[in-house]
Structure formats: C-alpha cells, structure tokens
Amino acid sequence: MPTSAAFDLVVIGGGSGGVRAARLAAQRGARVVLVEGQRLGGTCVNVGCIPKKLYSYASHYAQAFEEARGYGWQVDQPMFDWGRLRRQRAVEIERLNGVYERLLQDAGVQVRRGWAQLVDAHTVRIGTHDVYAERILVATGGAPRRPPFEGAELALSSDQLFDVEPFPRRLAIVGGGYIGCEFASIFHGLGAQVTLLQRGDRLLPGFDDEMARFVASELGKKGIALRFGASVQRVSRHAAGLEIHVGDGDPLQADAVLLATGRAPRTEGLGLEAAGVQMTDQGAIEVDAHFRTSVPSVFAIGDVVDHRALTPVALLQAGALVDRLYGCGNEAPREMRYDDVPTAVFCDPPAASVGLTEAQARERHGKLRIYRSEFRPLRHTLTGSDERAFMKLVVDDATDVVLGVHLVAPEAAEVIQGFAVALKAGATKALFDNTVAVHPTVAEELVLMRERHCSGGSSVA
C-alpha cells in the first residue's frame, strides 16, 4: 500500500478549529498535514455563521425600508430577488474558501483532499494512502440532527435551507433553539409566512428564562406564529406542498419544513472505536482538560467534543492545544475555560448573553440582586415600531460581582462582546455604576440600571 512521509501532526477536518490548529502548529515548526473532504472553512463558513449572518442582513432591509418613512424618506416599493441573494452569498463563500486555503499554504501546511479514517494511534488512511504522524487531531465538527419521526426525509436541514428553491412562501420550522429562532426571523424578514413549532414550553433552552420569554413576545409581535408544546408526529407530501402533523390538532400546511433540532458530533466513519478512542453517551469524543482522548496520541477539539458548539470556542481550543503541544515562547500556555463565554442569537431583535442565567446563579450562589430594564429604543420613536429592548444583570449580593448580562436589543451581539471582557475581569456592579455612559445608546442602560429586585433561592429580601 502506498505510504507518505511521517508528519508531526495530522489534522482531520478543515473547519475553524482544524484550520487554526494546523496553521499555528506549522508556524511553530511542526510538520502538518490537514485532511478535508469538502470545502475549507467547515460549517461556520459554508453553511453556518457567515451565510446565516449575510441572510440576516438581507432580511432586515424590508423593515429598514418601512422604517425609513418615519425619518422622511420616500421609498418606492422594494422587490426582493432570492436568486441574486443566493448567488452573491455563493461568491463570498467561495472567496473565503480561498482565503482559508492561502492561510494554510502560507503557513506551510500540506492540504490533502479526501476522507480520513484512523487506522491506529498514529496512522490515518486517506483513500489508499496511509499517513503516519506523532499526533492526530480530530476536528470534524458537527452535522444536523434529524429526528426519527415519519417523513423527516421530506424536511430540510439548516445546511440545505440556504439554497432552497423556490423560495418558500410558507415555512414551518421544527425547533426553537438558536437555529430555529434565527431562521424564523430571516425568512419572515424576506417575506415568508413562518410558523415555529417548539416541543417545549419556551424558546432558546439554556438561555435566561426571562430573556427567552421576551424574545418569544417580540417574535410574535412581528408576525411569526409560535406553537409551544408542539410535538411533530409526521410530515407528508400533498398536492399543495407539505403537511406537518402535530399531536391531535389539524395538520399545518407549508411549502418547506426546516428541522432545527440541533446538531450532532460528526464521528461516523472515522474509525475512532477501532483505534480505541472513547466516546460519550451523546456520541461526542471524550477528552480531558487538554483535549487528549483516551488514546494519548489522539486529540479532539470543536463541535466534535460537544462542550460549547461555537466557532470562537473551537478557535480558542485550537490555540490552547497548540500552545501546550508546540510551545508559545515565553508566554504561559492558554487554558480553555467555559465560564463567561459570550453568545448571541441573530433573531429579530437579536439576543445576547454572557455569564450565568438567573436560574444558574441561584443554584451556585446565595442571595442575588437582579436588575432589569425594558424600554423602546430611541430609533423607534419615529418609526412607529412597537419593538422593545430588554436588559438584565444578575449580581451576587455578597460580593457585588456581576454574574450575568442578558439583553435583547439592536446590535446586542456587538454590545455583549465588551461586557464579556468586563465579566472575565470580575467586574462588580459598583464598577458598572461608576462607568460613564455613552449617550444616547441602547448599551448605556447596562451602566445606568439602579433599581433592583433582591432574591435568594425561593425567598425575597
């Protein structure tokens, strides 16, 4: 069987984490080969963060055209071209694929096209070629999870929705997490009639309860139909499109159905079990605090380890791993910590959080101080929109440390980044109070909130 020369590191997967790890390791002198069977950039670049944000921008223009009238603009009837948006997105994604390719080449990483499989602790098979390396890094990301109900194959995953044809005038979305809420806002903004079906009694599991309820209220006000307690039994095709059968109620008719039911670690066909790599009950690769698997020469990062399935987390994991394996000069190796990880949901209006939810804080701390504010942003005083903003601070009463920041407001994702730094530094509410506000902004409310509601467990003080 043909073989290739030995490497210091074989990286399986050309997504955000894999590319970052390969590039940093090569820059520090390691001989690195990266294996990828699809386009470079992984989920984030090709069917995730980047195209989703581009479509989110597109979806806001209809609202912006309408709001412009309140500011004196005479706007002719705008027309939306779904095909043009898709083509423009494809051009940009292709450009980014090339950027990733050049980054790897400039760093000295060899890129092999194909599908990889572990043969043993130091061997990766790519087609008919075996590659030998001191270490192997698995960074294969995740894939959409398809629920087991009848007719699920008739529905689309989020990977497929970007290129759905024709544009669905009636879209049903199954699932109310990140993906469901974001695509609900996107397609509603682009002109679709959207119904979101959520099996539970609230949106955005894992986020602050109060913030999630506020998001649901705002989505409903904009015209997105929300159905809670909706367990999909089956999907069937009929003459006018698709029918979604939910419990005992009348079936819902739609032109397309999106399954926003989460993503699962992409481990199938990698030969992990045969190589002795232990897996979790959820199908993720089990790793220690330094991303080492049960096989000492095999490591894993990113969505495939299922800690926090976020691109920036995978990037930091890659940096921490390379620091430890290949050094970082005179600096101490980075350590990956999963507290105070900021995150955003690009729905309309967008939501963002960092730190503990109120429920999490009650479990881990004593008495809390909860500060909250709800208001209409200045921008909408002339537009006639009834959209409102929501902000909430969770504070440890004993130490005055701010434990969580949660907001639903225009540019929430941009705002949360700076407050994430503050929480990482251990900022107190007194420090927030003594910070001069930037006026007039939405973000200033986070340093102006004074009234509070104190709670400790089930008691109110």
Domain assignments of the chain as residue spans, ordered by start = 7-142+265-326, 152-261, 349-460
Contact 132/123 with Cβ under 8 angstroms? yes
- The CATH H-level superfamily of 349-460 is FAD/NAD-linked reductase, C-terminal dimerisation domain (3.30.390.30)
Closest among 230, 222, 223, 228 to 250, alpha carbons compared = 230
The pLDDT of residue 455: 52
Contact 142/43 with Cβ under 8 angstroms? yes
Report how far apart the first and last C-alpha atoms of the chain are (Å, whole number).
Answer: 74
The bridge status of strand 129-138 relative to strand 298-300 is parallel
The third-level CATH classification (topology) of the domain covering 7-142+265-326 is FAD/NAD(P)-binding domain (3.50.50)
Q: Name the token pair of 327.
A: 């050094």
Instruction: Classify residue 154 as exposed, middle or buried by CB count within 10 Å of its CB (0-12, 13-18, 19+).
Output: middle
The pLDDT of residue 282: 87
The pLDDT of residue 461: 24
Identical fold at 152-261 and 349-460?
A: no
| Spatial CB neighbours of 200, under 8 Å, sequence gap ≥ 6 | 176, 228, 229
Under-70 pLDDT residues of the chain: 1-5, 451-461
Closest among 406, 458, 438, 348 to 59, alpha carbons compared = 348
Q: Name the token pair of 235.
A: 């999907």
- 97-124: pLDDT as tens digits: 999 999 999 999 999 999 999 999 999 9
The pLDDT of residue 1: 42
Q: Name the token pair of 89.
A: 């997105």
Cα Rg of the chain (Å, integer):
24
| CATH architecture for residues 152-261 | 3-Layer(bba) Sandwich (3.50)
Contact 15/43 with Cβ under 8 angstroms? yes
Q: Which residue has the tokens 């599908």?
A: 115
Q: Which residue has the tokens 């194909």?
A: 114
Residue 444 DSSP one-character state: G
The bridge status of strand 241-246 relative to strand 252-254 is antiparallel
The pLDDT of residue 459: 27
Active site residues: 439
Which H or E run contains 238? strand 232-238
Cα angle value 76/77/79 (rounded, 5°): 125
| Spatial CB neighbours of 299, under 8 Å, sequence gap ≥ 6 | 135, 136, 137, 138, 287, 291, 292, 293, 321
The pLDDT of residue 332: 82
- b/e map 273-311, b = 16+ CB within 10 Å: eebebeeeeeebbebeeebbbebeebbbbbbbbbbbbbb
Give the separation between CA 357 and CA 96, rounded to whole angstroms: 35
Cis peptide before 440 (omega within 30 of 0): yes
